[in-house]
């Protein structure tokens, strides 16, 4: 499993799971995370492993879409990646009523769109209406903002949100509300008009160039209104950011070593252990680092479409979990750089065991399948039930490097009489199939957020929502009850105890064949960057937001490569706690 290093700050990418933070009132931090000595300029060259289906992240909420969208459009507030305190952005203040149901937003009158027009209450109301329009494919955002009535416009720069019920995440949802320019979005098809282009927004960059399927470019705005806000000092330093699409992971890595890309983060265990040994690494022209900070990490696995009749029997799903030989795959293919997953919230447990491990056990798997009615073999040697239906399914995956892992899984399944087909898809095709639930099993990873919640992935009311996150169609009344008990609980420790109960129930039901995880971030990069002394902030992996090109290092790098000389070695293991002192 790879953790994406190039994502922005934690901000409010609404992607995943349990909250670990208490938020009762806005506490402004005003403490810069960026380095005040950072220099601006240059083009950052990055690799994208697929082209976004749409750059409109409210419609296509995938990682690459969000990386672009969140640099083009600002939120009302943002979160300090070192302190978790709030930072003013479009909103200069956000006041909460004593009953925790009313949220008054005061827009900073300095806040401007790229064309110089002011950001007003009308933009906020338009964005809310756009999200709540059932014709728009905004189901994830709609889940969060359906908890509120339509905002009230108090004046040009003041809006009041009124929640229907108390919820610990309401303040987070309002602070993280992305505002769209009404005058540029109004009257257009929100689902289709902004797939391959985005109107300029209020953020630090614009999407300036797109060659569909090949590359896309972000250009820094010279008139970014929030440039001199205290929190933004030392941030957003690259003049241009170019993403070139190379779908083959190995081809992309070779291109990185040639110098086509500046940063590379698609680093599995094998690559980390065996492929970082060329002259570029030996002479420290490329830096190899593993960062240990407090950025939350999610889970990775094979999502099982429980809407399919063959997967509705728990014993079948359990058998499929017991047929994945995680330890062998981790040892042979990942050089023991990962550990088996036993939780959907692994970061809540630290070094403690979460749930009972479902280790490879073909004998137990066969017994479970027999109990589920698969007790005969067809002429090809595969299990069939009393209706003569073969236990056969297809796994979709979007990364070519996953093929070896799932080939081993298909082999162990075959030995147990289960037919597994593998199919590599583009990310756009895969997300379309998952949006429409047209899959058997799909390889997918969920990036964790400090500000997520379990409802999005696990509540039954989202099981058949088109484009939603409950990919597996998971339904469990007890899980629903526990999720529904959480909104009025503002104590994070108490909520986390509930999440652990939810975790145990979901783990028992096996909606995913969980694979493996890692609590660190691996990265390769050219030895040309300036960066904060901790490399990444405490709670994020924000190279785009916080790094810069260091002219001295660039000159040193160029001379070293030209003369075939080594550069001074950098530390491989980076520990935030040690460097932050």
Give the torsion sign (CA, 321, 327, 330, 336): positive
Whether 37 is in a domain gets the answer no
**Residues 508, 547 share a domain:** no
**Residues 108, 78 share a domain:** yes
SS3 80: coil
**Residues 165, 199 share a domain:** yes
At residue 181's C-alpha, the angle toward residues 68 and 462, to 5°, is: 65
**Residues 389, 346 share a domain:** yes
**Residues 341, 480 share a domain:** yes
- Note the pLDDT of residue 450: 67
User: Over the stretch 19-28, which tens digit does the pLDDT of each residue have?
Assistant: 333 334 455 6
Number of structural domains in the chain: 3
**Which of 206, 234, 254 represents a domain boundary (last residue)?**
206
**Which of 477, 498, 517 represents a domain boundary (last residue)?**
517
Whether 564 is in a domain gets the answer yes
**Residues 270, 366 share a domain:** no
**Residues 310, 283 share a domain:** no
Query: Binning pLDDT at 50, 70 and 90, where does residue 552 land?
Result: very high
| Torsion from C-alpha of 185, 187, 188, 191, nearest 10 degrees | 80
Residues 114 and 168 sit within 8 Å (Cβ to Cβ): no
Q: Which helix or strand (DSSP H or E) is residue 245 part of?
A: strand 240-245
Residues 536, 542: Cα–Cα separation, whole Å: 6
User: Over the stretch 451-489, which tens digit does the pLDDT of each residue have?
Assistant: 558 998 999 999 998 888 899 999 999 999 999 999 999
Round the CA-based radius of gyration of the chain to a whole number and report it.
24
Whether 567 is in a domain gets the answer yes
Whether 9 is in a domain gets the answer no
**Residues 372, 232 share a domain:** no
**Residues 424, 404 share a domain:** yes
**Residues 418, 315 share a domain:** yes
**Residues 240, 329 share a domain:** no
**Which of 517, 538, 562 represents a domain boundary (last residue)?**
517
| Torsion from C-alpha of 191, 195, 198, 202, nearest 10 degrees | 50
Whether the full predicted model's pTM is greater than 0.85, yes or no, is yes
- Note the pLDDT of residue 449: 66
Residues 314 and 321 sit within 8 Å (Cβ to Cβ): no
CATH number at residue 493: 3.10.105.10
Whether 38 is in a domain gets the answer no
Residue 120's domain comprises 43-206
User: Over the stretch 174-230, which tens digit does the pLDDT of each residue have?
Assistant: 999 999 999 999 999 999 999 999 999 999 999 999 999 999 999 999 999 999 898
Please, what is the end-to-end C-alpha distance for the chain in angstroms? Answer: 31
User: Over the stretch 111-157, which tens digit does the pLDDT of each residue have?
Assistant: 999 999 999 999 999 999 999 999 999 988 998 899 999 999 999 99
**Residues 348, 288 share a domain:** no
- Note the pLDDT of residue 264: 96
CATH number at residue 242: 3.40.190.10
């Amino acid at each position: 499993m790879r953790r994406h290093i190039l994502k922005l700050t934690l901000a409010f990418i609404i992607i995943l799971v349990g909250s670990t933070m208490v938020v009762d009132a806005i506490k402004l931090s005003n403490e810069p995370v960026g380095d005040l000595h950072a220099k601006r300029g240059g083009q950052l060259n990055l690799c994208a492993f697929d082209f976004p289906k749409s750059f409109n992240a409210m419609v296509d909420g995938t990682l690459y879409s969000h990386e672009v969208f969140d640099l083009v459009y600002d939120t009302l507030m943002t979160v300090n990646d070192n302190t978790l305190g709030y930072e003013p952005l479009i909103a200069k203040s956000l006041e909460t009523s004593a009953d925790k149901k009313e949220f008054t937003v005061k827009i900073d009158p300095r806040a401007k769109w790229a064309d110089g027009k002011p950001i007003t209450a009308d933009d906020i109301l338009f964005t809310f209406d756009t999200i709540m329009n059932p014709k728009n494919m905004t189901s994830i955002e709609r889940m969060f903002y359906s908890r509120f009535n339509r905002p009230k416009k108090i004046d040009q720069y003041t809006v009041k949100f009124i929640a229907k019920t108390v919820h610990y995440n309401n303040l987070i949802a309002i602070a993280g509300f992305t505002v769209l320019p009404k005058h540029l979005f109004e009257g257009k098809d929100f689902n289709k008009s902004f797939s391959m282009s985005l109107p300029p927004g209020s953020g630090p960059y614009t999407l300036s160039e797109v060659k569909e399927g090949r590359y896309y470019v972000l250009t820094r705005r010279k008139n970014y209104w929030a440039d001199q806000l205290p929190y933004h000092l030392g941030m957003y330093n690259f003049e241009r950011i170019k993403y070139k699409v190379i779908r083959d992971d190995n081809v992309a890595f070779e291109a990185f070593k040639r110098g086509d890309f500046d940063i590379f983060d698609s680093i599995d265990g094998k690559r980390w252990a065996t492929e970082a040994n060329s002259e570029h690494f030996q002479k420290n022209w490329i830096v190899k680092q593993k960062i240990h900070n407090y950025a939350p990490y999610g889970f990775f696995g094979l999502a099982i479409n429980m809407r399919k009749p063959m997967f509705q029997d728990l014993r079948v799903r359990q058998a499929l979990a017991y047929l994945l030989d995680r330890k062998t795959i981790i040892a042979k293919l990942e050089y023991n750089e990962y550990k088996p997953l036993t939780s959907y919230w692994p970061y809540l447990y630290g070094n403690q065991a979460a749930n009972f491990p479902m280790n490879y056990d073909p004998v137990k798997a066969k017994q479970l399948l027999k109990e589920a009615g698969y007790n005969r073999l067809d002429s090809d040697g595969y299990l069939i039930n009393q209706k003569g239906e073969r236990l056969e399914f297809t796994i979709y995956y979007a990364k070519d490097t996953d093929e070896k892992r799932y080939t081993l899984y298909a082999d162990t399944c075959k030995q147990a009489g289960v037919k597994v087909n593998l199919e590599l898809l583009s990310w756009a095709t895969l997300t379309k199939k998952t949006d429409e639930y047209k899959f058997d099993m799909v390889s997918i990873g969920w990036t964790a957020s400090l500000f997520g919640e379990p409802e999005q992935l696990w509540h039954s009311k989202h099981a058949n929502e088109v484009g939603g996150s409950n990919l597996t169609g998971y339904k469990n009344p007890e899980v629903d009850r526990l999720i529904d008990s959480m909104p009025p609980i503002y104590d994070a420790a108490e909520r986390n105890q509930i999440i652990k109960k939810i975790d145990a129930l979901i783990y028992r039901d096996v909606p995913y064949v969980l694979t493996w995880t890692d609590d660190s971030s691996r990265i390769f990069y050219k030895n040309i960057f300036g960066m904060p002394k901790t490399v990444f902030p405490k709670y994020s992996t924000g190279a785009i937001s916080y790094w810069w090109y260091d002219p001295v290092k660039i000159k040193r790098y160029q001379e070293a490569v030209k003369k075939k000389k080594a550069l001074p070695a950098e530390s491989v293991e980076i520990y935030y706690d040690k460097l932050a002192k």
